[in-house]
Amino acid sequence: MTSEAKRRVLIVDDSALVRQVLSGILSRHPHLEVVGTAQDPYDARERIRELNPDVLTLDVEMPRMDGITFLGKLMKGHPMPAVMLSSLTAKGTDTALDALALGAVDVIGKPVLDQAAGLEAMGAEIAETVYAASLAQVFEQRPQAAIRPAALASLAQRAKAGRSLIAVGSSTGGTEALRQIFDAIPGNLPPIVVVQHMLPGFTNAFAERLDRSSQARVKMALDGEALKPGTVYFAPSDTHMAVARRGAGLVALLKGGDRVSRHLPSVDVLFDSVADDCGAHAMGVILTGMGDDGSRGLLRMRQKGAHTLGQDEASCVVYGMPRAAWMRGAVAEQAALSVIPSRMVAWCERES
């Protein structure tokens, strides 16, 4: 493919109106071309064979076969990048997380009322999401081996609450990467703070799902909350998260404001604060994602003595954020997703 070639998109939705609106939105993107539409999964199956698209958008609720069932079949027989359209409801949010677990690259929240106007209002974001997905690597979903907590029984006693901290930033493809990491690590590491770029309304449900499967506690951060070992704290949607030292410990600080590095919450905001308040007693991890959010803050962390780790290209869904950090000199070590949990544990053992 030349640098001028456009990425080919197939739109799968039972609503003629949504197909029309999405076609217009995506066709305006300079690097996307809508090569076809389909009204249901059976139609989509034939169109995929005929058109060989680079990416498809896939509605969740469709007649004859729902989008989740079709996605599962697609990832087994013809894996390819897919972006799900899911309603912004409690049920829709849970279904969207199921789609991400099955291998969907990202999710677009579809408005329940006045869909045409709602989609148009999100047009630029939708187009960038689909473009990022078109560049993604799609992997076979495999279970991640957990690190045996018995092998680290003394770590909980040796971890110094209030001193050590792990900060993680991720975007496109990050939900599955984070799931694999937090399903593998023991529940007695220092506090972990996370910025994951997600649609508003999805982050809380994602944290709750991780909490059910992880040995560590996983929750949404609260403003002024003391950070405790054995706990993972997620930045809420549309809110920057930073850390600050209060006495002998660390607390989370939440604030609104403008986008930084094109994001709210921003990984750079988090990493900058960790550099200032934790210095060499922190570890920074940057995972799969489009763009360069986090690269500047991670460089500051490294300059202040923190250990910095980037996900390698081969295991990234989108090697954007880790690449930008690597090129900037912010990453001390690159590693495959499968070994990042053990790298985190090894750093904690040294830090203790």
- Given a contact cutoff of 8 angstroms between Cβ atoms, the answer to whether 318 and 290 are in contact is yes
Active site residue 171: yes
* pLDDT tens string 314-331: 999 999 999 999 999 999
Co-location of 93 and 204 in the same domain = no
Tell me, what's the pLDDT at 157? Answer: 44
Co-location of 163 and 55 in the same domain = no
Residue 125 reports pLDDT greater than 60: yes
| Domain final residue pick, 99, 134, 169 | 134
* pLDDT tens string 170-190: 999 999 999 999 999 988 899
Asked whether residue 2 is domain-assigned, the answer is no
Asked whether residue 267 is domain-assigned, the answer is yes
* pLDDT tens string 19-73: 999 999 999 999 999 999 999 999 999 999 999 999 999 998 888 888 999 999 9
Residue 272 reports pLDDT greater than 70: yes
Asked whether residue 1 is domain-assigned, the answer is no
| Domain final residue pick, 110, 134, 158 | 134
Co-location of 116 and 171 in the same domain = no
* pLDDT tens string 71-92: 999 998 889 999 998 876 666 6
Chain centroid to Cα 97, Å, comes to 11
Co-location of 194 and 241 in the same domain = yes
| Domain final residue pick, 108, 134, 160 | 134
Return mean pLDDT, the chain.
Answer: 89
Annotated catalytic residue, options 54, 277, 292, 293: 293
What's the maximum distance between 2 C-alpha atoms anywhere in the chain?
64
Annotated catalytic residue, options 171, 214, 261, 266: 171
Determine what percent of the chain is predicted with pLDDT higher than 70.
Answer: 90
Burial 253-266 (b: 16+ CB within 10 A, else e): bbeeeeebbebbbb
User: In angstroms, rounded to a whole number, what is the distance separating the alpha carbons of residues 197 and 186?
Assistant: 24
Specify the CATH number for the domain of residue 21.
Answer: 3.40.50.2300
Query: Which range has the worst mean pLDDT, 91-95, 129-133, 293-297?
Result: 91-95
Asked whether residue 143 is domain-assigned, the answer is no
Specify the CATH number for the domain of residue 336.
Answer: 3.40.50.180
Co-location of 200 and 282 in the same domain = yes
Tell me, what's the pLDDT at 291? Answer: 92
* pLDDT tens string 217-237: 999 999 999 999 999 999 999
Annotated catalytic residue, options 197, 240, 263, 281: 197
Cβ neighbours of residue 270 closer than 8 Å, sequence gap 6 or more: 167, 169, 193, 195, 235, 240, 241, 242, 243, 297
Co-location of 296 and 196 in the same domain = yes
Distances (CA, A) of 346 to 129, 143, 163, 296, 351: 35, 21, 17, 25, 9
Co-location of 41 and 119 in the same domain = yes
Co-location of 127 and 223 in the same domain = no
3-state secondary structure of 85: strand
Asked whether residue 139 is domain-assigned, the answer is no
Tell me, what's the pLDDT at 14? Answer: 92
Task: Give the count of domains, the chain.
Answer: 2
Q: E strands within the chain?
A: 7-12, 32-38, 55-59, 82-87, 106-110, 165-170, 192-196, 217-220, 231-234, 240-246, 249-255, 282-286, 307-311, 333-335
Instruction: Give the pLDDT band of residue 337 (cuts 50, 70, 90).
Output: very high
Instruction: Give the pLDDT band of residue 112 (cuts 50, 70, 90).
Output: confident
Asked whether residue 342 is domain-assigned, the answer is yes
Tell me, what's the pLDDT at 134? Answer: 95
* pLDDT tens string 192-203: 999 999 887 789
Co-location of 105 and 19 in the same domain = yes
Asked if omega into 265 is within 30° of 0 (cis), the reply is yes
Tell me, what's the pLDDT at 156? Answer: 46
Co-location of 316 and 190 in the same domain = yes
Q: Which domain holds residue 120?
A: 7-134
Asked whether residue 144 is domain-assigned, the answer is no
Tell me, what's the pLDDT at 352? Answer: 61
Co-location of 203 and 330 in the same domain = yes
Co-location of 155 and 110 in the same domain = no
Active site residue 293: yes
**Residue 303 CA neighbour count, 13 Å, CB half:** 13
Residue 256 reports pLDDT greater than 80: yes
